[in-house]
Structure 1
Amino acid sequence: MRDNTESRFHEEIRVTTLVFSYAHADEGLRNELEKHLSGLQRLGLIQTWHDRRIIAGQDFAAEIDSHFEAADVILLLISPDFIASEYCYNIEMTRALERHQRGEAVVIPVILRPCHWHALPFGKLLAATIDGKPVTHFPSWDDAFYQVAEAIKRAIATIAERAPATGGAPAALTTTVIPTATQTDMATAHAPRSSNLRIRRHFTDRDRDQARRDGYQSVSGYFETSLAELKERNPDIDIHFERTTTQAFEASIYVEGKRECHCGVWLGTSSIMGGDIGFSFGGVTPNSFNETISLTDDGYTMGFRPLGMAFYGAHSEALLTPEGAAEYLWSIFIRPLQP
């Protein structure tokens, strides 16, 4: 039996227009998100647009203006770069919120990367992910963008429900002729296209070394802040976090004075221990470990992959973000308190 929301989708004949507002530094994340929206596009439910669709000879600012004015849904892809961008923040975001307040469009914030956003003008809007969790803090981007796609489906259903109340299509769903250079240009901008737009990349040794260091820093910061939050929520426990070197730390959790959880994590060398980040219940012990995580790539992007020791679960082919790797190791660390 199909869900009612999906049934309503197929009863609608209108296509919801969706525009991305984003900083170019986040283009890779935007591309991944658009790939996750391919299902809605193939069903004829949405058509997407962003500024990379502007073709040579068109007026850049005028094209952005016209598409933002005609959009039914506007996604604000929030990151430190978005907030720092004068154009994204002062022009695109301002215009989007004005249309949202008038009921002409639905604005959905998508928090891509951690940043201070709750007090900003769009902070009162419900973010696409649960509790506004940043996309990069999910175990994988797939998990995050699934939630974003679900939020967009709900927005489409909400927009569709407005039509009967007004005796016809709401302003945001009324067919609009977008002024562009020519009708041919307009057709080109909205024509169906492949979501398979990734191209293979060559990663240098410097890229890999930086990614390894960044990955370890993400893990150490994740453990430190998670321990602090755990202590705040459970005043009866004690915690300890110590950076034993610039490339290693140890963490402990005590319940009624008894050490229930303990581990060491360190930045290693793949050729020595079979991984780039090591984990051991015995503390920092580079020559022995209970789990390791290795930096690898799929030809398009770099990520981390656990060795997947039998005790912790099967080996996975999915690449983890640095935050996903941190959550994986944290889950192993805190397991004794979660029988």
Structure 2
Amino acid sequence: MLSVFFSYSHEDETLRNQLEQQLAILSRQQVITTWHDRRITAGEVIDHAISGNLEAADIILLLVSPAFLASDYCYDREMLRAMERHEAGKAVVIPVILRPCEWHRTPFGKILATPTDGKPVTQWPDRDTAFLEVARAIRAAAEKLQRTVQPRSTPVPTPLEVKSLPEGATNWAPRSSNLRIAKTFTERDRDAFQHETFNYIARFFEASLVELQARNKGIEGAFRRIDANRFSAAIYLDGRAIARCTVFMGGAHFASGIAYSADETNDSNSFNENLNVEADEQMLYLKAMGMAFRRSVDEKLSQEGAAELYWGMLIEPLQRR
């Protein structure tokens, strides 16, 4: 099996866990084995353990984010050494762009990044789809390495021979890479995520209307924040209203999440689509009721995906012209 090393900031640990889930099938199929600093056990010297596994890795994943670029340890110690090994042909570096940041002019900026086109994972409507792209890229790299690299021989120790271990691998023993445990999300967590998402959608709409107006002659956008739980948006072509909507929280019955109404209204009882907060064992996400028939009801939407869904509903009349 090929060894995969995760270089990442602890601020991105949740995203790393989600990626590791996607890579589980590669581990089951004995294509790769993964390592990151959460595998360090009591009694090990942390720097030695990280350095030893970095030096032994066949594939090094750089989980790129603003926090990664700001970390002296990630950037100066792990990334720079990873690039030295990459350029010497001793390892393959794969940048995985987690969150938007200025990564193109870094030492690894010349390497083809994943997901596709280097689009940050957090900007994909469905993060599972983004991490699937990453997993496929890692599988392709692993299969290429397996074709070109000689298998490592593992000599059988004689009774008088003591097998040496990599530097930092003290107290080593084989163990499972499946060490994730299910997370529990409280009602407070869900409520906070819903409010954060609503505010994200509001900012998304306001900025998108400004940009739409700047790019298209005769188009005007109007955004109005009515209160903490409601905003409206309208698009005009040569002064004539082409599209309107209201997005709100706190509706009755089925609209208990974040609802979309294809009109400017103060009514909270009617709507065209609704997003509810749900959770799996690792993260909170948004799920559409499917009333607009624009996405699968099984799709797990990020905040970006939720905003794109509602923006697509607003701008659709202009795209049919």
Q: Please tell me the TM-score bracket, short chain as reference.
A: 0.7 to 0.9
Q: Which residue of 2 aligns with 1:302?
A: 284
3-state SS of 1:142 partner: helix
Q: State the number of aligned residues.
A: 309
Q: In the TM superposition, what is the alpha-carbon distance from 1:47 to its structure 2 partner? A: 0.8
Question: TM (normalized to structure 1)?
Answer: 0.80
TM-score, normalised via structure 2 length: 0.84
Number of the residue aligned with 1:25: 11
Map of 2:178 onto structure 1: 194
Question: Relative to structure 2, which stretch is displaced further, 324-333 or 249-258?
Answer: 249-258
Residue 264 of structure 1 and its aligned partner are, at CA, apart by 2.3
Q: Deviations over 1:147-205 (max 9, x none)?
A: 00111122123324544xxxxx3xxx7569751566860x42xx44436x232414142
Question: Secondary structure at the residue paired with 1:312?
Answer: coil
**Corresponding residue to 2:201 among 211, 214, 219:** 219
Q: Structure 1 unaligned runs (5+)?
A: 1-14, 164-168
Work out which of the residue numbers 274, 282, 287 in structure 1 matches 2:255: 274
Shift in alpha-carbon separation, 1:49–1:281, aligned structure 2, 3 A: same
- Does the Cα contact within 8 Å between 2:46 and 2:168 map onto a contact in 1? no
User: Deviations 1:215-246 (Å, cap 9, x if unpaired)?
Assistant: 012212323344455556x5345241423335
Letter in 2 for 1:49: W
Distance 1:98 1:58, change over 3 A: same
Superposed, 1:1-339 pairs within 5 Å as 15-163=1-149, 169=150, 174=152, 179-180=166-167, 185=172, 187-188=173-174, 191-194=175-178, 197-205=180-188, 207-230=189-212, 234-236=215-217, 238-245=219-226, 247=228, 248-255=230-237, 258-266=240-248, 268-269=249-250, 271=252, 274-287=255-268, 288-298=270-280, 300-309=282-291, 311-312=292-293, 316-339=297-320
Q: Percent identity?
A: 40
Contact kept? 2:285, 2:301, Cα under 8 Å: yes
In the aligned structure 1, how far is the partner of 2:290 from the partner of 2:128? Answer: 20
User: Which moves more between the two structures, 125-134 or 63-72?
Assistant: 125-134
* CA shift for structure 1 position 254: 4.1
Cα 1:75/1:227, change in 2 over 3 Å: farther
Look up the SS of the partner of 1:244 in the other structure. Answer: strand
Unmatched tracts of structure 2, length 5 or more = 155-163
The aligned residue for residue 11 of structure 1 is none
Q: Name the CA distance, whole Å, in 2 between partners of 1:93 and 1:307.
A: 43
Per-residue CA distance 1:40-99 (angstroms, 9 max, x = gap): 111211111111111111111001001111111111111222222221122111111121
- Is the 8 Å Cα contact of residues 26 and 32 (structure 2) preserved in structure 1? yes
Q: Using a 3 Å threshold, how does the CA distance of structure 1 residues 230 and 43 change in structure 2: closer, same or farther?
A: farther
In 2 relative to 1, CA 157–317 (structure 1 residues): closer, same or farther, beyond 3 Å? closer
CA RMSD, aligned part only? Answer: 2.8
Give secondary structure in 2 for the equivalent of 1:126.
Answer: coil
Distance 1:25 1:284, change over 3 A: farther
